[in-house]
Amino acid sequence: MLTHFIGGQPVAAGKTFPVHDPVTGAVVRQVHEADPEVVDRAVRAAREAARDWAAMPVGERAGWMRRLAEGIEARFDDLVAAEIADTGKPLDQTRTLDIPRGIANFRAFAEIAAQRPEDAFHLSGVLSYTVRRPLGVVAVIVPWNLPFLLMTWKLAPALVSGNTVVVKPSEQTPGSAAVFAELCAEAGLPPGVVNIIFGYGSAGQLLVEHPWVNAVTFTGSTATGTTIMKSVADRVKPISFELGGKNAGLVFEDCDLDKAVEGAVKSVFTNGGQVCLCTERLYVHRSIFEDFCARLAARAQEVELQPMISAEHREKVLSYYALARSEGAKVLAGGSVPVFGDHRDSGYFVEPTVVTGLSEWSRFNREEIFGPVCHVAPFDSEAEAVDLANGSEYGLAATLWTTNLDRAHRVAQRLEAGLVWVNTWYLRDLRTPFGGVKLSGIGREGGTRSLDFYSEPTTITIKLEQPDA
């Protein structure tokens, strides 16, 4: 039974709910669900810890971040097991991406914060400088697709900046957060600095609306983001949102076709397509279109399957497979439910799917699906490719495949997206700004941008009197 973690202690309060293994559909754990009292208790614990934590020199807080990174290393196998039990992720991906990124997040933000200079300005006898103060208590709302990676991506900069936090993981993936709570206690982190509560969106709603929560960071759907935004508007709380995407991949005729096909496979199917950065719209130069489609469709049938997170999400993805057909698509690969003949048949799998032939105005090509699926369409010119990529209400990420250096820069700079990858996908430097434009979010995190969000500058100006001549 998973309990909340409040004020450094496990708290077994509230009714319970089940978490299902997406591979088999079986219940893997029961979890306590935060009610209004639990939410309030967690926020109070965070607020009580806030003063001492904020007063600690940043170098000491950076030391705590390094200790948490060591704690993750010590509990690595437990974190891997918890993450896989909740998500059905492949072992290799969990061991090389999800959990290591937690370690990297804490180490990177320890360095970035400890080395960050303050601003100072001197002009005609007037000296101004800034000091940065933490915001107070930050609500950290984490999605189910990369639970540990995204929780730590937000926690590390929030904590090192001097905030205390209340984390609300997705109800579908509480396991790795529960192990993290244990390792915070094992590391001796001061009680109340990290609090973790479990529950559904209703618990998240109570959390973000709590008057003592000073800021909200959220990664998830655009629909939930707009709900949170409205809820916190009348208290003018700072928000940082990384939301949905309908990301484009552009494959030019001068690309290295082998690399472009493999890159597309990765960008469409990784994590079962359940990454906000995944490509759902591929545009391919007409001269290589048929060849590219044939190769992508063949590779789609070979990828390691990862289940959808829930029965409900599988239904949603399958409804888009049906929609594609009803909108007139040609299905090049997949389009259905795989049959294994074993325990996985009661899990939440769908076939990796490639379709073509739909208009840009089809619902399939406009709405985020968040599954292992993409639409492929031909283009004739660079200008057309840019227009097609930009013709979406979303603008999180885009990927280009070309060997022409001028074209790479020219096109990348014209794309309406917060992130553009050239001849690669989801390659991360944690110092870079990360986030989206249009419906894909508001604000940027990453490197000093995270530190900017999790703190506020006070400008101090002194007039320097000149001695009498």
Q: Which residues bind ligand 6OD (CB under 6 A)?
A: 145-146, 150, 153, 219, 242, 275-277, 428, 434
14 vs 157, which CB is nearer to ligand 6OD? 157
Helix (H) or strand (E) holding 270: none
User: Is residue 276 annotated as part of the catalytic site, yes or no?
Assistant: yes
CB of 80 to ligand 6OD, least distance (A): 18
CB of 222 to ligand 6OD, least distance (A): 13
CB of 331 to ligand 6OD, least distance (A): 26
Edge-to-edge strand order for the sheet containing 330-333?
330-333, 353-356, 373-379, 279-285, 247-251, 397-401, 419-422
**Token pair 């900017």 is at which residue?**
452
Give every CB contact of residue 444 below 8 A, 6+ residues apart in sequence. 240, 418, 433, 434, 435, 453
Count the Cβ atoms, other than its own, within 10 Å of residue 131. 12
Catalytic residue among 255, 276, 293, 374: 276
204 vs 441, which CB is nearer to ligand 6OD? 441
Distance of CA 347 to the CA centre of its chain: 24
Give the tokens for residue 186: 């094992």
Q: How many whole angstroms separate alpha carbon 78 and alpha carbon 181?
A: 12
Q: How many whole angstroms separate alpha carbon 197 and alpha carbon 261?
A: 42
Q: How many whole angstroms separate alpha carbon 420 and alpha carbon 246?
A: 13
CB of 66 to ligand 6OD, least distance (A): 19
49 vs 146, which CB is nearer to ligand 6OD? 146
Of the candidates 419, 354, 423, 411, which has an alpha carbon nearest to the alpha carbon of residue 384?
411
Q: How many whole angstroms separate alpha carbon 148 and alpha carbon 173?
A: 9
Catalytic residue among 33, 83, 171, 242: 242
User: Is residue 374 annotated as part of the catalytic site, yes or no?
Assistant: no
CB of 445 to ligand 6OD, least distance (A): 7
CB of 153 to ligand 6OD, least distance (A): 5
Q: How many whole angstroms separate alpha carbon 389 and alpha carbon 26?
A: 40
CB of 97 to ligand 6OD, least distance (A): 9
Strand 330-333 relative to strand 353-356, pairing: antiparallel
Closest residue to ligand 6OD using C-beta atoms: 276
CB of 133 to ligand 6OD, least distance (A): 25
Of the candidates 149, 131, 55, 40, which has an alpha carbon nearest to the alpha carbon of residue 94?
149
149 vs 415, which CB is nearer to ligand 6OD? 149
> How does DSSP assign 402-455, residue by residue?
-S-HHHHHHHHHHS-SSEEEES-SS---TTS-B--EETTEES-BSHHHHHHHTE
109 vs 434, which CB is nearer to ligand 6OD? 434
Give every CB contact of residue 43 below 8 A, 6+ residues apart in sequence. 137, 166, 195, 207, 210, 212, 213
243 vs 333, which CB is nearer to ligand 6OD? 243
150 vs 179, which CB is nearer to ligand 6OD? 150
**C-alpha dihedral sign at 441, 444, 94, 166:** negative
153 vs 283, which CB is nearer to ligand 6OD? 153
Q: Are 420 and 397 in contact (CB under 8 A)?
A: yes
Q: Which residues are catalytic?
A: 242, 276
